[in-house]
Chain A
Amino acid sequence: MGSLSSLYQDMILDHNRSPQNYGRLENANRRVEGHNPLCGDQLTVWLRMDGERIEDAAFEGSGCAISTASASLMTGAVKGKSRLEAEALFEQFRRLVTGVLTPGEAETMGKLAVFSGVSEYPVRVKCASLSWHALKAALEGPDTVVSTE
């Protein structure tokens, strides 16, 4: 089960079991709901923006291990980043999970690189990307709903 263990790496299982930044964010000024109608995954992402900077980020919802761990690591990764930095990271993440990022580039992504195995499972790309799509929408404006479809 080579590729299965590359998909379900320990860090992903850990973040699924104990997600970080989980729960409603107090004083948030951005809130976006994300849906994956294919599997029923549903999550909410909150941001507290200080001008162009993401001061804090959190999420809540139900989803598979890939989607939950991705939201956990995403919220951790974008905290303190500027809007432009976070958008660049989203683009890099998108390339990572669709398998077009070189291994060298993936190494620069830190913990997020654990999602490289997703590229072998095309149907799981949406799981891994759901929270990122919500993040992108949240950066663009408050209170919207995004869907992976």
Chain B
Amino acid sequence: MSELLTIENIDVCYGNIKALSGVSMHVDQGDIVCLIGANGAGKSTLLKSIVGLEGLTNGQICFDGEVICQAKKVKHTTDQIAKMGISLVPEGRRVFADMTVEENLDMGAFMVRDQNVIAKKKEEMFDFFPILGARRKQKTRSLSGGEQQMMAIARALMSSPRMILLDEPGLGLAPLIIQDIFNKIALINKQDKVTIFLVEQNARMALKASNKGYVMENGKIVLADKASNLLTNEKVKAAYLGE
């Protein structure tokens, strides 16, 4: 498998506070990779820096062999990175609450010009997430948390991205719904060949769904291994799996 996303030794600072230091990792084409870690470890910061919402103070990020982010300069803006085929499902879902489900999907397809493709893609999404089809004309603010999360994932898929980044897809949701969402994520990876990089606090579910895992502590990667190995790793078990 070839490397799709490569993160090389990046630092990100908020003022004097180093949020990420010397982070290196990669995600292979077609893989599902997860990053686990405690609250405030720097997981969201990492995702934001991949899409250019946070600047790097050191290192670089490459996508499909091309440098997309570089230290101390704006190599590409966030909308340009989105056009390259990286779609982030942000933490807290960030749906456009005052817009209907359908309008949200239209926004996800902003980069797609062909109306037929958009219509087809929408129907695909309504098949994949039937609850969204039933609520297509409803304002997104009236949806439940789980429905909003599905909406956010569907929105990210509208542009047919090569890779999706998921920031805490299980946040604030009931275990059954999280399980449902993880099943969908696995399906997206298998059927649509979309590469997936997900960040989760719910380590067990994330590792079970992934092939590979990274563990982050205080802005540093402290472990990297096959997900199945991490699930049986004593340190991971003690710190993240509550065993």
Is chain B a partner of chain A in the same complex? Answer: no
Residues of A within 8 A of B (CB): none
